[in-house]
Chains A and B, each alone.
Chain A
Amino acid sequence: MSKRVLLGLVLACGLTASALAQEPKTGGVINAVIQPEPPGLMLAMIQNGPTQMVSGNIFEGLLRYSPKLEPQPELAESWSVSEDAKTYTFKLRKGVTWHDGKPFTAADVLFSVEMLKQTHARARNNLAQVDKVEAPDDYTVVFTLKQPFGPFLGIFEVGSMPMVPKHLYEGTDFKTNPYNNAPVGTGPFMFKEWQKGSFIRLVKNPNYYEKGKPYIDEIYWQIIPDAAARSVAYETGKVDVLPGGSVENFDVPRLSKLKDTCVTGAGWEFFSPLAWLWLNNRQGPLADKRVRQAIMYAIDRDFAKDVIWNGLGKVATGPSASTIKYYTDDVPKYPYDPAKAKALLKEAGYKGEKIRLLPLAYGETWQRWGEAVKQNLMDVGMNIETISTDVAGGNQKIGDWDYDIAFTYLYQYGDPALGVGRNYVSSAIAKGQVFNNVEGYTNPEIDKLFADGAVATPDSKRKEIYEKAQKILVEDVPVAWMLELQFPTITRCKVKNLITTGIGVNDGFKDAWLDK
């Protein structure tokens, strides 16, 4: 055989092998970490992160979203919008069944909407613009809005609007329904077992409507409360998937270098977690805009990114993350400039009044960040006192407006009308809540811009409004924006196609497969 033929054969084999490698294989078990242990799995009742991560496999929404946040079919196979942008018609997929074998129909969608309005705070807000929901037939659902609502197509992913089986929940007491502990959805995996404190086991739904999917037979979500122990569990091969945020950030570079390890920052586009400091605008020195601007100049956010977050993430420019719609970086800038911060403090007449800083009790990384910010602020002459509490205590203090500066991070949900406006409009000020406008910022112009932005058409008009709002906010500094956070997902490289949408791991493992 000539060398050339041999080379050709080798190349051909190589190509075939790589082509085969792309063909999903069926079977296998994925061991993933879930942290902390979810309080329950009924997504319509509980909306915390771990619940969504596990239950995103059990339940489904009408739509999913691509990394660019374009809507994609899930339980709805197509949709259309009327010319006046007030009527949205969804055509549902046929042949979908709940895990107990009953068919999924438009009646379930109508019921879910009504139930979520009672049990799901975010869904209730998202659905506020809906005038009525109707089902002309078993596979069509029509939402009629009171007025056009720009982000409407963005509220249908599984965590925001999970579909609930009407036949199991109608007429029951939602909070004590036995199916809360053995959830029944339409998703690619079915709930099998939950050994509290140890693991949650999901098994393949053999009747899933997408033929051939899911590829994986079982998922074990392992509950390991200690961050160092979670890293070790991955190192020793006991788990294959560490979803974003499940190990301390300073462990990420070390774990990334392990053999057969793949790391991705993808899958957070829909959430776009943005970290900032609540600044209590109501009282004391922070009521002065110049002091708030000084804080922006005083904090070395590049240091926080490079050292505390190990280079992961991006310095925030303002109220919108760069991954969501209508983001602009054409806003006033606040580079690290302690001299300017000192000058602004002097101009504002700051005389060393005590300022209470409330770090976030989410583990080591956040604690270190609190220390770094305290150091930065003390360097420019601010008198900072750190208040140490646990999460519950911190939430209470924020809800009672009993703080001066407090760390937080919040999801943006893809559109300023869903995840940004709520933090700055005056109608979102109310004592006792942990999120929304807890800084107490009031500006009638901002109120109007966000009110207009939500209902404006066409898209170009919305863009114009939100860009203007971003400029005003960045000038006023109602809160001090820190970083666009990145929570890398660490997996064995044999786990393929784990993250395919902008919702990431929270969207379920239906496309994932194991290259054994």
Chain B
Amino acid sequence: MLSFVAQRVVKGVIVLLAIVVLNFFLIRLAPGDPAVVMAGEAGASDQVFVQQLREKFGLDKPLPEQLFIYVKGIATLDLGFSFRQQAPVSKLILERLPATLLLTLTAFAISLALGVLFGTFAARFAGTFLDTAITVFALIFYAMPIFWVALMGILLFSVTVDWLPSFGYETVGANLTGFAHVVDVAKHLIMPAMTLGLFFMATYTRMTRASMLEVKRLDFVKTARAKGLSDAVIQRRHVLRNALLPVVTLAGVHAGTLIGGAVITETVFAWPGIGRLMYDALLQRDYNLLLGVFVTCSVMVLIFNLITDLVYRLVDPRIEFAA
């Protein structure tokens, strides 16, 4: 198993390098650079000013040299400096990481738990009213744009009944500590996490349902039934466990994108996470920050892919670590 992990890590580093180089050039293809954006915002610009900014950002150097400097930095775990925000990129990302992880992991847990639960029920009662009801419910949240669900949630739960706060991570200025702070953050978390979670829930529901129905038809289920096992045990131990493989694959892919995948939710709910950091960096052409977020996301995807492969083994002992 160790050699398997080591091989994957080496491959991962090569993939990461390719991603860095590709992204480096891709974001420079977009028209406009940080100097132009900042000159625009200053309400006054002359060539001296724009040139000064370009020199300050290191944008006056030839592209290969800029790339070399950047890759050299990455090799020493230095993600560079955001001149726009006047702070090291790693600091900016780490500041936002906890909020993003809290939101996306909660949403991930909600979507996975509800998705598998609903999917199991739908498969168990396939063709009945319950099956249709679950499918329709899941698809409604999948079909509606996230920002729309978010705004409707705000309208209902913040404006109309005033149960939940409409924006932010905590009540600003309340200076709560201890348990009161946890409750406060949880209240702020409910709406964004549900919005995001319900969206992804649909895929898990559909996947679990389809996969379970397929497994149910297989011979070993018949054998289990012939052995006289109870329906509950067959469903849980034999059908669900085997049906989960594609769900784990999907969850692995989703988990990797969690860091940067909540841009819209974070924007509507003013959640101070990485998705928003990335979006702002893109609009402002803050190259170093944008690349930094990309690198972080790529690393997460690679890590989660590795974890997914390891989880396969747990779910299905037949899979071996082929080096």
Contacts and interface: CB of A to CB of B under 8 A. Distances in A.
Closest 9 CB pairs of A and B: A197-B272, A392-B32, A48-B41, A122-B44, A396-B32, A121-B49, A396-B31, A47-B42, A393-B31
Given A197-B276, A393-B31, A432-B47, A229 B172 contact: no
A383 interface: no
Contacts of A431: 47
Nearest to B56: A175
Given A220-B172, A391-B37, A435 B154 contact: no
Contacts of A47: 41-44
A394 B285 CA distance: 13
Contacts of B272: 195-198, 223
16 contacts: A39-B284, A40-B84, A46-B42, A47-B42, A48-B41, A125-B46, A196-B96, A197-B277, A223-B270, A229-B154, A236-B166, A391-B37, A396-B36, A432-B36, A434-B39, A434-B40
A37 interface: yes
Contacts of B154: 228-229, 232
B46 A392 contact: no
A181 B36 contact: no
B242 interface: no
Interface in A373-398: 389-397
A389 B31 contact: yes
Interface in A180-233: 180-181, 195-199, 201, 218, 220, 222-226, 228-229, 232-233
A175 B83 contact: yes
Given A42-B86, A47-B41, A392-B36, 11 more contacts: A29-B173, A49-B43, A180-B86, A197-B271, A220-B172, A222-B168, A222-B172, A226-B270, A389-B31, A434-B45, A436-B46
Nearest to B37: A392
B167 interface: yes
| Interface-central residue, B96, B154, B168, by most chain A CB under 10 Å | B168
B162 interface: yes
Given A196-B95, A392-B31, A181 B86 contact: yes
Nearest to A400: B31
A434 B165 CA distance: 40
B283 A390 contact: yes
B42 A122 contact: yes
Contacts of A229: 154, 166-167, 268-270
A199 B32 contact: no
A197 B273 contact: yes
A31 B86 contact: no
A261 interface: no
B96 to A, nearest CB: 6
B85 interface: yes
Nearest to B81: A176
A232 B156 CA distance: 11
B48 A121 contact: yes
Interface residues of B, number: 56
B85 A121 contact: no
Contacts of B169: 198
Nearest to B274: A197
| Interface-central residue, B32, B85, B267, by most chain A CB under 10 Å | B32
A430 interface: yes
A135 interface: no
Contacts of B38: 39, 46, 48
Contacts of B83: 175
Interface of A: 29, 31, 36-37, 39-40, 42, 46-49, 121-122, 124-125, 175-176, 180-181, 195-199, 201, 218, 220, 222-226, 228-229, 232-233, 235-236, 238, 389-397, 399, 410-411, 430-436
A193 to B, nearest CB: 10
B50 interface: yes
| Interface-central residue, A220, A235, A395, by most chain B CB under 10 Å | A395
Interface of B: 30-33, 36-50, 56, 83-87, 92, 95-96, 99, 151, 154-155, 158-159, 162, 165-170, 172-173, 267-273, 276-277, 280, 283-285
Nearest to A40: B86
A392 to B, nearest CB: 3
Contacts of A223: 270, 272
Given A181-B87, A226-B270, A395 B167 contact: no
Nearest to A36: B280
Contacts of A218: 173
A31 B151 CA distance: 22
Nearest to A196: B95
Contacts of B92: 196
Contact of A238 (B86, B167, B277, B284): B167
Contacts of B41: 47-49
Nearest to B35: A432
B267 A226 contact: yes
B251 to A, nearest CB: 27
A393 B283 CA distance: 9
A6 to B, nearest CB: 42
B44 A125 contact: yes
A393 B30 contact: yes
A471 B271 CA distance: 51
B31 A37 contact: no
A122 B39 CA distance: 11
Nearest to B85: A39
A433 B46 contact: yes
A124 to B, nearest CB: 8
B172 A392 contact: no
Contact of B39 (A121, A176, A394): A121
A204 to B, nearest CB: 14
Contact of A436 (B37, B45, B85, B159): B45
A156 B87 CA distance: 30
Nearest to B83: A175
A198 B95 CA distance: 11
Contact of B37 (A195, A395, A411, A430): A395
Contacts of B267: 225-226
Contact of B167 (A29, A39, A124, A224): A224
A48 B158 CA distance: 32
A195 B99 CA distance: 12
A125 B27 CA distance: 33
A408 to B, nearest CB: 10
A409 to B, nearest CB: 10
A232 B46 contact: no
Contacts of B50: 432-433
Nearest to B264: A226
Nearest to B32: A392
Contact of B43 (A175, A198, A389, A435): A435
B151 A228 contact: yes
Nearest to A118: B52
Contacts of A42: 86
Contacts of B32: 390-396
